[in-house]
Amino acid sequence: MLFDNHTHSQFSFDGRSTIEKSAASARAKGLGGICFTDHWDYYVPSSKTSASHLTPEPSTTDAKGLETFDIKAQQAEIDRVSTLCGDSGFSILKGAEIGLGIRNREHIRTLLSLHSFDEVLVSVHYLEDTDPYLGGYYPGKTWREAYGGYLETLYTEALWVKDFDVLGHFDYICRYAPYPEASLTYRDYPDLWDAILKMLADGGKALEINTKTYQAYKGGRTPELDPEILQRFKDLGGEAVSLGSDAHEAGRVGDKFAFFSDFIKACGIRYACHFKRRRRYLDPL
């Protein structure tokens, strides 16, 4: 059975579903479980659009206004909803989507020492003091520079953190890009990709296939998953990927999982996986 390892609940600043509703949706779709990875971005650019308004370092004692969540309350709610499910065998897992960035390094280390999770997913939403979602970061860059710079940041920061389970939405940067080149491919960055995939394979970590990326965005641009990335992951010893819908509402939980299961299998990878108390469990595709 497959697990949706990347979803957002009412505890995320932009969540539009409750843990109860999204868990019910996952069960109804025949998934084995769901992990709630609410947003934990400790550094959010103040202007969110340009590099011209830099914020000072956020205070480590005041997380107000940052894109974080009440971890204790989220985990208590997961326990409550799990109890409602009884011994059905369906798992509701405790996670977080932790935003990587050079400013967040020490903070992430502290966060992970203070809290226990089933799954730690890391990703990049903000870089160069900008928010790509709002059109920042891209101006003045070619598509090759923009995508490569994002991938480089993801690699450098994940390598520094080390203590994570899933590398989230590597192609997030394609979703909101202004270029006709809609997809991030292996052949454009082979050395960087090899370093990333080897880091994941050697550490028993999972590359996330984020199904939210593969849909039509502004201007009809539709990013596609490059099979070569998965084939290379397998060649470098990668065993399992993580499936994530990145759903912010209950209806999208498990979105396109059947299609991507077949796609991933056709690339030679036999397993998806999920994490419980930071331990990886393989789920045959």
List of residues contacting Zn ion (CB under 5 A): 97, 123, 246
Across-strand partners of 200?
Answer: none
Shortest Cβ 237–Zn ion spacing (Å): 26
Residue with tokens 């891209």: 138
Q: Work out how close the CB of 133 gets to Zn ion at its nearest, in angstroms, rounded to a whole number.
A: 10
For the bound state, the minimum distance from the C-beta of residue 266 to Zn ion, rounded and expressed in Å, comes to: 26
Backbone angles phi, psi at 89, to 5 degrees: 90, -10
**Closer residue to Zn ion (CB): 67 or 246:** 246
Question: Which stretches does DSSP call E strand in 152-232?
Answer: 166-167, 206-210
By C-beta, is 97 or 171 nearer to Zn ion? 97
Residue 123 C-beta: closest distance to Zn ion, Å: 5
Tell me the residue type at 278.
R
Choose between 232 and 245: whose C-beta lies nearer to Zn ion. 245
**Residue 20 or 97 having the CB closest to Zn ion:** 97
The nearest distance, CB 10 to Zn ion, in angstroms, is: 14
Q: How far is the CB of 278 from Zn ion (least distance, A)?
A: 19
Paired tokens of 1: 């059975």
Q: Give the containing element (helix H, strand E) for 271.
A: strand 271-276
Structure tokens at 53: 């308004």
List, in sequence order, every beta strand (DSSP E) within 76-145.
91-99, 119-123
In which residue are the tokens 């520079």 written?
145
| Total residues found in the chain within this entry | 285
Question: In this structure, what token pair is assigned to residue 177?
Answer: 């890009």
Comparison of 95 and 232: residue with beta carbon closer to Zn ion: 95
Task: Output the smallest distance, CB 172 to Zn ion, in A.
Answer: 6
CB of 67 or CB of 97, closer to Zn ion: 97
Closest CA to 101 of 176, 152, 177, 172: 152
Which of 75, 211 has the CB closer to Zn ion?
A: 211
Which uninterrupted H or E stretch holds 265?
Answer: helix 257-266
How far is Cα 277 from Cα 93, in angstroms, rounded to an integer? 9
H/E stretch holding 171 reads none
The four Cα atoms 49, 44, 160, 244 give a dihedral, to 10 degrees, of -90
